[in-house]
């Protein structure tokens, strides 16, 4: 059973192949501090048997806040609060590891007065045009991610993940659809990836080379003029060469919601990265083709997320070498102890999650929770 075998990400040994993918739960306090409710949620996840927990996204700058009650990592005064997360997970997880996900929402925000992005391209979901970032603002953001990484290390986390998927700021730099700059940060693939070279260099200056820096990225934006597999393959090779410790494979931007079912062949609900009605095994792991292609190109661990719900699918993905780790979001909202059930042979082959996405809708009024919970 490969899913029970340990494997390293960087120099951090993950006890099994189950990863909790970063999931916004709207449980932080208003100024980014950690609530008791959030700690209890992480305690359940840690006790549930997952090998690695990636926290819900944290904002590195006030200009990067995406939604209310989001965790903050933008100032040193939050380090004691963040320590509560790592301490809770390490004390309750039987060698469970935890990475802090760092993010900036870029143009995908309803809540920031002046949104910023690589280029002034209309965001049709929010119907807003962002301000194109100056070179100085890019440097400030690079520094903010680096300082956030330092705070994560000082707060006892085992590593960080940079959220570079789903149309958020770093994803916007990678995508030719959202990055139309004519300076050194735009145009060619090498220019659009420049910020990732600067991020890695600045982060490692602060945290050293023994603190894993991982990436979550789109293999495909699912948009005309956006990032496609032929270019994301080039990008993943460069990211690996730079030194990023692992790649989590995903896809889609918010504007996918503005596209029709006929254009995409599937109809997302609420968010493009979490598809609904995954009710057969052939619909599971909907990013596996991309993971398989990435795996051929790099020797860094690949993490696959997206509609994985069945244990035999997990084992197949791992034994066929399509991915090194499998990552779950909605199934662990529904069943935080799902990994233990599978590892101990006490659970059903397919998890309880019905891929309805109603959990995402609960964020409009309060903490995210599974509507199927009894």
200 is catalytic: no
d(CA 286, CA 76): 39
For residue 263, CA distances in Å to 13, 167, 266, 358 come to 42, 19, 8, 24
Region of 37 (left: φ > 0; alpha: ψ -120 to 50; beta: rest) is alpha
Residues 119/124/125/127 CA torsion (nearest 10 deg):
90
Tell how far CA 141 is from the center of its chain: 18
d(CA 272, CA 95): 33
* Closest C-alpha to 72, from 152, 138, 131: 152
Q: Residue 76: CB partners within 8 Å, gap ≥ 6?
A: 151
Q: Residue 336: CB partners within 8 Å, gap ≥ 6?
A: 41, 44, 45, 47, 48
d(CA 245, CA 238): 12
Using an 8 Å Cβ cutoff, are 136 and 194 in contact?
A: no
Pairing between β-strand 18-20 and β-strand 52-54 as defined by DSSP bridges: parallel
List 24, 57, 59, 168, catalytic entry:
168
Catalytic residue ranges: 168
């Amino acid at each position: 059973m490969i899913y029970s075998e340990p494997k390293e990400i960087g120099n951090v040994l993950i006890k099994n192949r189950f990863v909790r993918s970063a999931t916004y739960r709207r449980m932080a306090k208003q100024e980014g501090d950690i609530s008791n409710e959030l700690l209890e949620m992480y305690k359940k996840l840690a006790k549930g048997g997952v090998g690695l927990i990636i926290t819900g996204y944290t904002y590195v700058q006030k200009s990067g806040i995406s939604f209310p009650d989001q965790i903050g990592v933008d100032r040193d005064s939050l380090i004691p609060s963040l320590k509560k997360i790592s301490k809770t997970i390490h004390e309750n997880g039987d060698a469970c590891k935890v990475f802090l996900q760092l993010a900036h929402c870029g143009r995908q925000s309803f809540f920031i007065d002046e949104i910023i992005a690589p280029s002034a391209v209309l965001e049709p979901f929010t119907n807003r045009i962002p301000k194109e970032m100056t070179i100085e603002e890019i440097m400030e953001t690079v520094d903010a991610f680096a300082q956030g990484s330092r705070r994560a290390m000082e707060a006892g986390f085992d590593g960080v993940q940079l959220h570079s998927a789903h149309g958020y700021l770093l994803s916007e730099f990678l995508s030719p659809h959202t990055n139309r700059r004519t300076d050194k940060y735009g145009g060619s693939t090498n220019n659009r990836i420049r910020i990732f070279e600067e991020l890695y260099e600045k982060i490692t200056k602060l945290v050293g080379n023994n603190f894993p820096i991982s990436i979550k990225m789109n293999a495909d934006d699912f948009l005309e003029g956006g990032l496609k597999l032929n270019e994301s393959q080039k990008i993943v090779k460069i990211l690996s060469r730079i030194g990023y410790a692992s790649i989590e494979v995903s896809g889609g931007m918010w504007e996918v919601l503005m596209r029709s079912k006929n254009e995409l062949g599937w109809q997302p609900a609420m968010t493009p990265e979490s598809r609904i009605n995954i009710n057969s095994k052939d619909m599971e792991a909907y990013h596996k083709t991309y993971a398989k292609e990435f795996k051929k190109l790099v020797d860094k661990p690949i993490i696959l997320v997206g509609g994985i719900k069945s244990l035999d699918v997990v084992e197949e993905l791992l034994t066929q070498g399509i991915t090194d780790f499998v990552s779950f979001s909605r199934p662990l909202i529904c069943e935080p102890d799902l990994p233990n059930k599978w590892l101990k042979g006490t659970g059903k082959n397919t998890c309880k999650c019905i891929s309805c996405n109603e959990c995402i809708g609960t964020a409009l009024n309060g903490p995210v929770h599974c509507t199927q919970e009894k």
